[in-house]
Amino acid sequence: MPPLRRRLRSRGFAAGTVVAALAFSLLSVPGLRTQGRAPEPQDPAQQKRLEWFHQAKYGLFIHWGLYAIPAGEWQGRRIPGIGEWIMNRARIPVREYGQLAGQFNPVKFDAGEWVKLAQDAGMKYIVITSKHHDGFALYQSKVSTYDVVDATPFGRDILKELAEACAKAKMPLGFYYSQAQDWHDPNGAGNDWDFGPDDRKDFDKYLRGKAEPQVRELLTGYGPVALLWFDTPRMMNVGDRARRFTDIVRKLQPDTLIDGRLGVAGDYVTTGDNVIPPDVQNTAWEVPATINHTWGYKSYDHDWKSPGTIIFKLVDIVSKGGNYLLNVGPRADGIIPEPSQYVLRSAGAWLKVNGEAVYGAGPTPFGDELGEPSSKGAKDLRGQPLMLARTEWRVTTKPGKLYVTFFAEPRAPFELPAMTNTVKRAYRLADGAPVDFKVQDGKTVLNVERPIYDPMATVVVVEIDGPAVIRGTR
Ligand code: JFZ
């Protein structure tokens, strides 16, 4: 085995430090300085806060705001890029963009239906944009009237309705809040077309006058907040700017998780958008991901990921110790695009049967199945050894159990990497049918039925003696 993989795969305290160091170099994207730094070694309170998060594994991200109205087009032109960035990409003046508020009337919005979709999808938490970079709040704010209650004909507090529906369904709810970029506020970051360059702004005036009080509102008016999802921490590494937010959160709701994009270490690491690390990460982490190529709704992006792709990514992520926060962008009428609903519900049907391999499951004890670095010594775009991913199977774990998920029929007799544990039993998760196995040179050979039982993904449970795999041969 090449040394990099051996190092990445090893466990134990000293090795863990190496893993963490490599992990964070793998997670950082030059030019996007938003990646979470390694959280400090976890304190017990933090571990406690993270418990539900580790159980949950799969969440629904919702990007919704005024940008759903233009839906990717401005003045008859298709604006390239992600939908919620249209104000920036088309350089729309605040005064013009703000007029969208007068048209925002999502009469088909039904919070209960959104929560039902998340439940059907097998998702265990929801995170919604409370205020994105455009500065418009989806709830009634006393700090600014640029919000859904004060500025739109709709006049209903969307976050309140969603918080109530979530409470009823016992669905943890978190809020995305753009703490640094605010293209509506003269002193917020990002809007240089109306307000000039950021370095001439009184950024702290914006933070103290809008962002901090709005975060206080979110933490006091909507019941328990499962997590706060900060983003694009421009200019946040000056003085105590980021710390001021941590202090507000810890004081008002000590159990609320903080993501990795505040500007100081949060409770977990947020990877780059759609970036799944190549290996197991020894820290709590989450990948925010799109279901097509945009977060906010774009009328002409129909490139939906398939249910099979979603399930592969979810199991892949869980086998590397992470969480999957998968996004939908509701339309301006309040309906989540039907194709996203179909994809999520189809993946959810698989999870109803096979969820035991996902929820609360730990990472793979192996790693052989993830891929290997290119033998030619090639480097990826970040200068890291290029990893050639394999996608045939993944392993997730619970005490005494391995869940081997097959995404394709094994081409040869299927062998698990060598372990000293005794295999007690093997069976298919979907229907409990026993799976024949034998042990050869310390390796467990599973006789996987052909054609494969569920072509989307078939889980075989392997029960072992002892709580965890011990690698090697006896
Ligand atoms: C940010 C936002 O700008 C975007 O609109 C969306 O909300 C997304 C979830 O987050 O975009 C980013 C932030 C960080 C990276 C990429 C896109 N990154 O670190 O790779």
Tokens of 405: 């998920």
CA geometry: angle at 298 spanning 295 and 300, to 5°?
A: 135
Residue-level pLDDT at 40: 54
Whether ligand 1 lies within 6 angstroms of the CB of 272 is answered as yes
Residue-level pLDDT at 381: 81
Asked whether the beta carbons of 119 and 171 are under 8 A apart, the reply is: yes
Asked whether the beta carbons of 212 and 248 are under 8 A apart, the reply is: yes
d(Cα 319, Cα 333) in Å, to the nearest integer? Answer: 38
Which residue owns the Cα nearest ligand 1 atom 3? 232
Residue-level pLDDT at 164: 98
For the CA of 35, the nearest atom of ligand 1: 19
Residue-level pLDDT at 311: 98
Greatest Cα pair distance, the chain, in angstroms, is 73
The rounded Å distance from CA 141 to ligand 1 centre is: 24
What burial class does residue 227 get, using C-beta atoms within 10 Å of its C-beta: 0-12 exposed, 13-18 middle, 19+ buried? buried
Which residue owns the Cα nearest ligand 1 atom 18? 272
What burial class does residue 465 get, using C-beta atoms within 10 Å of its C-beta: 0-12 exposed, 13-18 middle, 19+ buried? exposed
Residue-level pLDDT at 41: 62
Provide the residue-wise pLDDT of the chain in tens; the chain has 474 residues.
Answer: 333 333 323 322 222 233 333 333 333 333 233 344 445 566 899 999 999 999 999 999 999 999 999 999 999 999 999 999 999 999 999 999 999 999 999 999 999 999 999 999 999 999 999 999 999 999 999 999 999 999 999 999 999 999 999 999 999 999 999 999 999 999 999 999 999 999 999 999 999 999 999 999 999 999 999 999 999 999 999 999 999 999 999 999 999 999 999 999 999 999 999 999 999 999 999 999 999 999 999 999 999 999 999 999 999 999 999 999 999 999 999 999 999 999 999 999 999 999 999 999 999 999 999 998 887 888 888 788 888 899 999 999 999 999 999 999 998 899 999 999 999 999 999 999 999 999 988 899 999 999 999 999 999 999 999 999 999 887
Residue-level pLDDT at 376: 80
Whether ligand 1 lies within 6 angstroms of the CB of 232 is answered as yes
- Return phi, psi of residue 145, to 5°: -90, 0
Whether ligand 1 lies within 6 angstroms of the CB of 234 is answered as no
For the CA of 275, the nearest atom of ligand 1: 20
Whether ligand 1 lies within 6 angstroms of the CB of 82 is answered as yes
Asked whether the beta carbons of 74 and 92 are under 8 A apart, the reply is: yes
Whether ligand 1 lies within 6 angstroms of the CB of 129 is answered as no
Whether ligand 1 lies within 6 angstroms of the CB of 33 is answered as no
Q: Determine the residue of 28, 37, 232, 285 to mutate for testing ligand 1's pocket, defined as the one with the most ligand atoms within 8 A of the Cβ atom.
A: 232
Of 194, 128, 382, residue with least CA distance to 272: 382
d(Cα 20, Cα 2) in Å, to the nearest integer? Answer: 19
The rounded Å distance from CA 233 to ligand 1 centre is: 10
For the CA of 61, the nearest atom of ligand 1: 9
Residue-level pLDDT at 6: 34
Q: What is the DSSP letter of 210?
A: I
Name the amino acid, one letter, at 248.
I
The rounded Å distance from CA 398 to ligand 1 centre is: 33
- Enter the pTM of the model: 0.91
DSSP-assigned states of every residue in 234-288: TTTTSTTHHHHHHHHHHHH-TT-EE-S-SSS--SSEEPSTT---SS--SS-EEEE
Whether ligand 1 lies within 6 angstroms of the CB of 274 is answered as no
d(Cα 134, Cα 131) in Å, to the nearest integer? Answer: 7
Q: Determine the residue of 34, 178, 227 to mutate for testing ligand 1's pocket, defined as the one with the most ligand atoms within 8 A of the Cβ atom.
A: 34
Buried b (16+ CB within 10 A) or exposed e, 331-359: bbebbbbeebbebbebbbebbeebbbbbb
Which residue owns the Cα nearest ligand 1 atom 6? 295
The rounded Å distance from CA 31 to ligand 1 centre is: 12
Which residue owns the Cα nearest ligand 1 atom 12? 273
